[in-house]
Amino acid sequence: WDVARARDKYFEETGIYVPICSDGGIVHDYHITLALAFGTDFVMLGRYFARFKEAPNKIVSVNGNYMKEYWGEGSARARNWQRYDVGGENKMSFVEGVDSYVPYAGSLRDNVGLTLSKIRHTMCNCGCLTIPELQKNAKVTLVSSTSIVEGGAHDVVVRDEHFDAKVK
């Protein structure tokens, strides 16, 4: 919130609005809502979109799990594509990203609507209908890992599409 508050103060003093981008670290859907609540104007979702069938990266099997290749824009692979002028002779010589895999998530159509529903649901739980209301009214609380476990399903085996139970 400190960055967003400083941006807002700067805007009040100068009339110049500097947008804040949440670039990196978005792993779960709720991270998008958190970024918005903390005052970001937009989020970069490279990893999010790389998981889907429609992304051009390859689907591979890693230890029996379907994954999609993923590399950040600061990775050696992205730099090898020479998409960026990184300083000519004084070019940056260190890698800032990794070449990795992300879990395959199926189709974009099936998942984006679910993500948006989760964001809307969380906003409604906060009593907010708009992002500015969320930024003004959200109360973000740090909870323990035990609280997270206790808040979800526990002491049971959750049935899902990967669970193959045989009835006798």
Confidence grade of residue 19 (pLDDT, cut at 50, 70, 90)? very high
Q: So what's the pLDDT on residue 140?
A: 85
pLDDT digits (tens, 9 = 90+) for 22-68: 987 788 999 999 999 999 999 999 889 999 999 989 999 999 999 99
Confidence grade of residue 89 (pLDDT, cut at 50, 70, 90)? low
Contact 75, 99 (CB under 8 A): yes
What is the spatial distance between Cα 6 and Cα 107, in angstroms, rounded to a whole number? 39
Instruction: State the CB neighbour count (10 A cutoff) for residue 96.
Output: 13
Q: What is the mean pLDDT of residues 5-11?
A: 96
Task: Please tell me which residue, 166 or 118, carries the higher pLDDT value.
Answer: 118
Confidence grade of residue 78 (pLDDT, cut at 50, 70, 90)? low
